[in-house]
Amino acid sequence: MSYYNAYFDRLASHLNDVDTADLDQVAELLVETQRRARKVIVVGNGGSAAISSHLSLDLVKAAGIRAINFNEASLLTCFGNDYGYEHWVAKAIGFYGDPGDLAILISSSGQSQNMINGALAAKAQGLRIVTFSGFRAENPLRGLGDINIWADSQSYNLVEMTHQVWLLSIIDKLIDEKGAGR
């Protein structure tokens, strides 16, 4: 078996290692957030920030659900400079979040202090929270959400690709259901 076949088999194993009921619950939270005229806030670092951008755009454009992400360079550098990098997500949620909104926090390691502080701020502000993490099963972010979805891998790329496929599969489910007249 080639390196790539073995790699793709590992990725497929991670993709299939999810409780799909959890993905359905995320989809239901997204629809509920839309129904209540609230918004979705999606945040991540590095590759997870790219995933958050992709997800928020697909939520708006393809699924018709109002969403934002915090990947504006001036926001990141201003809040990081003024409040400290570990607090910028919490501060952004404080400024942009409203009770009843949904925060989706993505962290491969689940140990990024800015995501942990963001989850705590979102909870204190009355937002629903979904976390996507990986690496250690007992990572600190994993216990802070209403729904916590975890990828069992120590590889950043495998965790990030797994998160992206899981999240975009939720979008495709919402699109399919919308087309079916739901």
Q: What is the pLDDT of residues 120-163, one digit of tens each?
A: 999 999 999 999 999 999 999 999 999 999 999 999 999 999 99
Coil/strand/helix, residue 107: strand
Angle subtended at Cα 58 by Cα 68 and Cα 144, rounded to the nearest 5 degrees? 55
3-179: CATH topology is Rossmann fold (3.40.50)
Note the pLDDT of residue 69: 97
Q: 151 with 162: CB under 8 angstroms?
A: yes
Question: In terms of pTM, does the model score above 0.85?
Answer: yes
Rounded to an integer, the average pLDDT of 96-123 is: 98
H-helix or E-strand spanning residue 44: strand 40-44
Rounded to an integer, the average pLDDT of 16-41 is: 98
Strand 102-107 relative to strand 67-69, pairing: unpaired
Q: 4 with 12: CB under 8 angstroms?
A: no
pLDDT digits 0-9 by tens, 53-100: 999 999 999 999 999 999 999 999 999 999 999 999 999 999 999 999
**Is the pLDDT at 180 greater than 80, yes or no?**
no
CA distance 96 to 129: 15
Note the pLDDT of residue 182: 44
Note the pLDDT of residue 108: 97
Note the pLDDT of residue 62: 94
Note the pLDDT of residue 109: 97
